[in-house]
Amino acid sequence: MSSPASARTISLPSVRSTSSPSSSLCMAVIQLGSVTLSELLATWPVHDMTHVHQIARILAHQYRSSVGPWQQYLGVLQCTGHSARSAS
C-alpha cells in the first residue's frame, strides 16, 4: 500500500499533463458522487491542515487546567475534534 504522499507524487505528473482545466474534469467517487479535479486537489492542503489542527489541539490540551478562567476564550481548548463525522 502506498502512502498518501507517494500517491500525490505519482498523481502530479498526470495532473500536469492534462490539457483540460481542472474545474472541468470530473470523476465519480462512490461516497460523494461527481467531483471535479480542482475539488480533489483542494482537499490535499486542507487534509494537511487538519493534521496541523490535530497537533495544535493535542499540544494545547496540556494547558487546559493551567489557563484558569480564560479557557472559555481559547478556541483550541474548546475543540472536540472536527474530524468526527456526524450521522446524517
Beta bridge partners of 31: none
- Domain count for the chain: 1
At 24-46, the pLDDT tens digits run 778 788 888 888 888 888 888 99
Nearest to 57, CA basis, from 83, 35, 31, 33: 83
At 42-63, the pLDDT tens digits run 888 999 999 999 999 999 999 9
Residue 38 has a CB neighbour count (10 Å cut-off) of 12
| Residue 29 placed within a domain | yes
pLDDT of residue 20: 65
| Residue 70 placed within a domain | yes
Range of the domain at 74: 20-78
pTM recorded for the entire structure: 0.60
